[in-house]
Chain A
Amino acid sequence: MIEIKDLQTGFSAKTVSRSLSLKIESGSFVCLIGPNGCGKTTLLRTIAGLLPAKKGDIFINGKSLRQYSSKELARNIAYLPQVREIPDITVDTLVSHGRFPYLGFSRKLGRTDHEKIKDALELSNAGRFAEKRLKELSGGERQQAYLAMTIAQDTPILLLDEPGTYLDISNRFSVMETALKLNRKGITVLMTLHDLSEAMWFSPMVCLMDTCGSLRFSGTPQALYDSGLLQEIFDVSVAKTDFKKSYYVFLPKGDV
């Protein structure tokens, strides 16, 4: 379980969000949405332990983030940032790096590590290009490769920062389906998404932040739609249609 208590996030002298409180139960699938610059990524990086909390605290399974050693935290939380380096290595090497938190002084992979790498490649559908170099891959394939690395990390919590950015629609859906598959295995998934329709379609729970970095809503997509907060914060019109299940369409306000 992730429990955020009266959290203030930011970096250097800048404060991004204040008084954030949120409880995410184990095994949940949550999308964090909000306008550009509201502090979604900063919040995710703070939960991942990459930025120190300016105030308040985050508890992972009842234990404060501050009490985790770096390796212990890496065995509990995997984080995939939006912007990444593209080193000149093969996909299977990249995925093997996901096992780093479990390696001893010799840094040698054991049998369990190899099994986890194999499973991660299969689950993310990256096995078909496992021997290719990252630089030879398309954006979608590269995302699957990085996702495989985070899966190999074998953590109960997975944080994804805008996993669909720069991807075409089928690759975006494929990434979301992999995230859902992981969630069905009991992994808690928390991701930021800028596509509101996709966030509300795929995610059973959404959290909405406003431009000031405050957490304004946390609940089901239907309850968020009913609250009218989407229109207020994004200054758009929202329509609900039924296609297999409720689908939300976002349009500019007024005539176009």
Chain B
Amino acid sequence: MSRLTSCGKGGKSLTLLPFLFLLTVLASLCLGSSPISPKELFLALSDTQSTAYRIFFYARLPRVLGGAVAGASLAVSGALLQSVLNNSLAGPNIIGVNAGAGLATLLVMAIAPYSVSLMPAAAFIGALCACLLIYAIASLSGASRTTIILSGVAVSSIINAASSSIKTFFPEITLSYNTFSIGSLSNITMDQVKWAAAYSLAGMAAAFLMSHDMNILALGEDIANSLGLKCRRLRFFMICSSSLLAGSAVSLGGLIGFVGLLVPHMSRMLFGSDNRITVPASAFLGATSLLFCDLLGRLLFAPFELHVGIVLSVIGGAYFVFLILKKKGGRLND
């Protein structure tokens, strides 16, 4: 019975994740087209005129911090969405939440390109609108799990059409749009990180506070309601938090795919389906995997860089195929 007060089977192994994350952070700070050894990194902190200092503070640090915030946010956003829609195929990039955030960010890029503080706010509103639209479709139609995904695809398609139209009317954002639509951590500034991190922290804190109630919601609406859980209110807060997180990630790295879909899966495979574990584990795994993929993109063809979105598409796609084959004969969206 003591297992009930702890967090189940994942409690101990979860402590390994911060170490793995810190290791990836260190590697991301040191490695790249101009490698900096940990010793140089340490010395650079006291010499503000050195090249290593400038690389560290103006390129690597914002990129690593931004990547960690974006990865953790996308993964937790995905875990929340999968719980709200009771569908493990839901992810912010699959059901149109990222697309909604992307459209709003593009609008800001076109209308007020220097308003760094406005981007995460706009992305949050865009994500929230898309999320509420999908949820309304799901609630009104009593849609099956597959129908929710299909309606997400339909909503994404409409939003993407709007994004493409903005690109047509504002050709000066074409270059940024291309990078934005692939998903990239290059060119992140500390200012952007500060603003986005505030949104992410709020979303993460809310997700963690709701994680036990998410376990009750997983029992189905009738049982959850009869246990005294206010399901509608919880779902609304989950959608808002998920949108905060997706908005923050999109404002930093653009339309990064797969993290929100696959990381919560990975977390459940490794640590079980207790959301009190899934939420923090997804945050660490999301940050670690996004930074790792970004590092790969920087190292594979150095000095050229592959955007993290490209690396993620290859690795995420392969992992998705693995999941499908593993579930052969069963249902992926159990």
Contacts and interface: CB of A to CB of B under 8 A. Distances in A.
B4 A96 contact: yes
Contacts of B300: none
A50 B226 contact: yes
B223 A81 contact: yes
A109 B5 contact: yes
A30 interface: no
Contacts of A72: 228
Contact of A89 (B225, B226, B273, B334): B273
A101 B227 CA distance: 6
A82 B86 CA distance: 19
A108 interface: yes
B218 interface: yes
A188 to B, nearest CB: 15
Nearest to A153: B227
B218 A100 contact: no
B4 A93 contact: yes
A114 interface: yes
Contact residue range for chain A?
A: 35 or more
Nearest to B9: A90
Contact residue range for chain B?
A: 20 to 34
A92 B222 contact: no
Contacts of A77: 226
Contact of B226 (A49, A85, A94): A49
A109 B2 CA distance: 10
A97 B334 CA distance: 21
Interface string B265-298: 0001000111000000000000000000000000
A153 B220 CA distance: 16
Contacts of B225: 49-50, 70
A107 interface: yes
Nearest to A155: B226
B215 A97 contact: yes
Given A93-B8, A107-B212, A108-B5, A85 B218 contact: yes
20 contacts: A71-B228, A72-B228, A74-B226, A79-B223, A84-B223, A85-B218, A87-B215, A87-B219, A88-B272, A88-B273, A92-B1, A92-B4, A93-B4, A93-B8, A101-B227, A107-B212, A108-B5, A114-B1, A114-B4, A117-B4
Given A73-B228, A80-B223, A84-B222, 6 more contacts: A49-B226, A74-B226, A84-B220, A92-B1, A93-B8, A153-B227
